[in-house]
């Protein structure tokens, strides 16, 4: 179905090829997962499938890419729309209408299909993706999982043979991610669609993949094989694989169910050890406070009577379904928009009344769309401007960026970076001034495991220095690694608030993989298990 024959691609002015002599064949009806470290070429590989590389990006492509016998060099992306459907990282960015049913019909209208055909395909897509109950809903009122399924449905109505997705679950809560992955699996098994997706949150996707394609970066060949084959040697692996390696389990489990079947001897060995204790609550005045906070938008109450305190040295994880009010709460502490009722305070002051130069010293917010913070012509310009505007020594922001993610090209425009590289740049810009309260909205979106580990180290260091960190996240593995406290929101209300270990282990939805495998004991990470085994030895 998809063939790469000796394909190399070099971006304009790039010193080396992003893809080099790629030979790859993807068969009809496969679900292929593309993995690799941030900035190594995963998105470039996906874009080559529908001709965005090189028709849209520019650059030099050699070799040949064919999809169902059609060469992407000879056909622009619009000429492949009936064959290849593409869903980007941000589904709402692709919407061109206001209502679900209209969005599903839009592509077919552009293709000039008959109304009778359009009606039948819309109905089939609504049923296939479980969207019939929201067919008349405005798109902006849908949850993240529903929006992702609508974005998929909008390209499916053109009846493509190939579906390409870039980070389809990165902004979704665990339940919504399961919905999307279940829908994709149905399309592969029941319809025979070929699905190629890139994803950093491997713990979610590996169990569903028929095959994994690892993009190792410049100068090295792709690694392809079954999920078990690639995971056996990959340096990029989910916690369940790392735990299996530690415990020497064979065959290598790829799902929690398979791991639990092998875990009883490990649970017995750990019976003599206890997980790390719950850290004591800081004894200090709260840095950030919300008192009976209410925030309403037209026809929506986003926050309802929320009272919270955040103390120095805490790393608080805000968790909950898409649309539960996490981002709205962060925005209030950042001084964006006034509350409908109640109040917020940062260091005893109303953030809405602080001058911007004073506010940036006290509060730093990195939103989900990191690109909203970036205005420079190049990465280097962005770092220089950030240093100058905040009174930092030259090079401060650049050094922090290199610590979060090395190798971000200084001469590239921020819009030409990968999602993970843009996020790392935005993190560096906001964190460099050292705000006492750091607010992060999905801080691992687009980051690979090594980059996430470096971010964890940095956040722990910051908390140790007395900073307060609040992160809205669906990344349960990040919460397991770094959070001292977890707050779960639902319908704009607090439904759980306590030590992170207790909150996530008590939840079947928000538990990390290690906790699910080793339950009922509340182990959270592979590092904890490794340390305990070292003590027992």
Question: 318-344: per-residue pLDDT in tens?
Answer: 999 888 899 999 999 999 989 999 999
Within-domain flag for 157: yes
For residues 18 and 104, state if they share a domain. yes
Q: Of 35-39, 250-254, 267-271, which gets the smallest average pLDDT?
A: 35-39
Measured distance CA(258)–CA(128) in Å, rounded: 29
Measured distance CA(23)–CA(70) in Å, rounded: 17
For residues 362 and 214, state if they share a domain. no
CATH number, domain containing residue 145? 3.40.50.300
For residues 159 and 57, state if they share a domain. yes
Residue 384 predicted with pLDDT over 90: yes
Measured distance CA(304)–CA(327) in Å, rounded: 14
Within-domain flag for 210: yes
Domain residues for the domain of 145 are: 2-236
Measured distance CA(338)–CA(351) in Å, rounded: 10
Residue 537 predicted with pLDDT over 60: no
Average pLDDT, integer, range 196-225: 88
Average pLDDT, integer, range 207-212: 93
For residues 341 and 209, state if they share a domain. no
pLDDT given for residue 98 in this prediction = 93
For residues 332 and 430, state if they share a domain. yes
Q: Which long-range contacts (CB under 8 A, 24 or more apart) does 290-293 make?
A: 290/329, 290/332, 290/333, 290/342, 290/343, 290/344, 291/342, 291/343, 291/344, 291/345, 292/341, 292/342, 292/343, 293/329, 293/332, 293/339, 293/341, 293/342, 293/343, 293/344
For residues 297 and 431, state if they share a domain. yes
Tens-place pLDDT, residues 133-147 = 889 989 887 877 788
For residues 23 and 142, state if they share a domain. yes
Tens-place pLDDT, residues 78-104 = 888 889 999 887 777 789 999 999 999
Boundary (domain end) residue, out of 220, 236, 252: 236
| Enclosing H/E stretch for 109 | helix 100-111
Measured distance CA(482)–CA(526) in Å, rounded: 13
Residue 156 predicted with pLDDT over 60: yes
Within-domain flag for 12: yes
pLDDT given for residue 536 in this prediction = 64
Q: Give the range with max mean pLDDT: 84-88, 138-142, 165-169, 515-519.
A: 515-519
Within-domain flag for 531: no
Local structure of 194: helix, strand or coil: strand
For residues 150 and 291, state if they share a domain. no
Within-domain flag for 406: yes
- In this predicted model, which residue has the larger pLDDT, 62 or 448? 62
Burial of 17 (0-12, 13-18, 19+ CB in 10 A): buried
Measured distance CA(57)–CA(9) in Å, rounded: 11
Boundary (domain end) residue, out of 198, 221, 236: 236
Alpha helices in 465-506 (DSSP H): 476-482, 500-505
- Percent of the chain at pLDDT > 90 equals 57
pLDDT given for residue 395 in this prediction = 95
For residues 321 and 420, state if they share a domain. yes
Within-domain flag for 274: no
Tokens of 504: 């996530």
- State the average pLDDT for the chain: 90
Tens-place pLDDT, residues 269-323 = 998 788 887 777 777 789 999 999 999 987 788 899 999 999 999 999 999 988 8
- Specify whether the backbone of 403 is left (phi greater than 0), alpha (psi in -120 to 50) or beta: alpha
For residues 75 and 222, state if they share a domain. yes
Measured distance CA(149)–CA(172) in Å, rounded: 11
Within-domain flag for 93: yes
Total structural domains within the chain = 2
Percentage helix, strand, coil for the chain under 3-state DSSP, each rounded to 5: 40, 20, 35
pLDDT given for residue 475 in this prediction = 93
pLDDT given for residue 45 in this prediction = 92
For residues 428 and 338, state if they share a domain. yes
Boundary (domain end) residue, out of 203, 221, 236: 236
- Percent of the chain at pLDDT > 70 equals 99
Which residues, 6+ apart, have CB-to-CB distance to 14 below 8 Å? 59
Measured distance CA(184)–CA(136) in Å, rounded: 23
Within-domain flag for 403: yes
Residue 513 predicted with pLDDT over 60: yes
For residues 170 and 30, state if they share a domain. yes
Give the strand pairing for 194-198 and 211-214: unpaired
pLDDT given for residue 219 in this prediction = 62
């Amino acid at each position: 179905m998809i063939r790469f024959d000796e394909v190399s691609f070099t971006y304009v002015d790039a010193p080396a090829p992003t893809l080099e002599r790629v030979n790859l064949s993807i068969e009809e009806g496969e679900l292929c997962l593309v993995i690799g470290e941030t900035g190594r070429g995963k998105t470039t590989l996906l874009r080559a499938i529908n001709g965005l590389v090189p028709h849209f990006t520019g650059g030099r492509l050699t070799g040949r890419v064919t999809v169902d016998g059609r060469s992407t060099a000879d056909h622009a992306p619009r000429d492949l729309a009936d064959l290849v459907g593409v869903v980007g990282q941000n589904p709402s960015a692709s919407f061109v209408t206001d209502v679900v049913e209209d969005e599903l019909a839009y592509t077919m209208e552009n293709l000039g299909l008959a109304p009778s055909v359009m009606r039948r395909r819309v109905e089939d897509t609504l049923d296939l993706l479980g969207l019939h109950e929201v067919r008349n809903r405005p798109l902006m009122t849908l949850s993240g999982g529903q929006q992702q399924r609508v974005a998929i449905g909008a390209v499916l109505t053109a009846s493509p043979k190939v579906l390409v997705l870039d980070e389809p679950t990165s902004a979704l809560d665990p339940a919504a991610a399961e919905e999307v992955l279940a829908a994709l699996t149905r399309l592969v098994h029941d319809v025979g669609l070929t699905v190629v997706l890139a994803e950093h949150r491997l713990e979610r996707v590996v169990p569903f993949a028929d095959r994994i394609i690892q993009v190792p970066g410049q100068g090295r060949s792709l690694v392809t094989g079954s999920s078990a084959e690639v995971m056996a040697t990959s340096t990029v692996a989910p916690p369940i694989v790392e735990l299996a390696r530690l415990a020497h389990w064979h065959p290598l489990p790829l799902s929690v169910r398979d791991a639990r079947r092998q875990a009883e001897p490990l649970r017995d060995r750990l019976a003599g050890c206890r997980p790390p204790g719950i850290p004591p609550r800081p004894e200090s005045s709260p840095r950030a406070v919300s008192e009976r906070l209410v925030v309403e938008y037209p026809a929506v109450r986003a926050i309802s009577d929320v009272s919270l305190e955040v103390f120095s040295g805490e790393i608080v994880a805000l968790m909950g379904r898409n649309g539960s009010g996490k981002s709205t709460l962060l925005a209030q502490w950042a001084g964006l928009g006034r509350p409908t009722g109640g109040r917020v305070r940062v260091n005893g002051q109303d953030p809405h009344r602080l001058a911007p130069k004073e506010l940036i010293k006290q509060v730093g917010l990195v939103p989900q769309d990191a690109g909203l913070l970036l205005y420079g012509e190049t990465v280097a310009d962005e770092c220089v401007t950030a240093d100058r505007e905040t009174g930092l020594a030259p090079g401060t922001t650049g050094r922090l960026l290199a610590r979060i993610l090395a190798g971000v090209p200084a001469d590239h425009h921020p819009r030409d970076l990968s999602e993970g590289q843009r996020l790392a740049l935005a993190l560096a810009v906001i964190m460099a001034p050292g705000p006492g309260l750091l607010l992060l909205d999905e801080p691992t979106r687009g980051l690979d495991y090594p980059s996430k580990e470096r971010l964890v180290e940095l956040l722990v260091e910051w908390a140790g220095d007395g900073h307060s960190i609040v992160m809205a996240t669906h990344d349960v593995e990040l919460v397991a690694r770094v959070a001292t406290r977890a707050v779960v929101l639902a319908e704009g209300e607090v439904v759980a608030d306590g030590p992170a270990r207790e909150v996530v282990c008590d939840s079947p939805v928000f538990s990390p993989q290690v906790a699910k495998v080793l339950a009922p004991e509340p182990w959270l990470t592979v590092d904890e298990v490794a340390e305990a085994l070292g003590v027992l030895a």
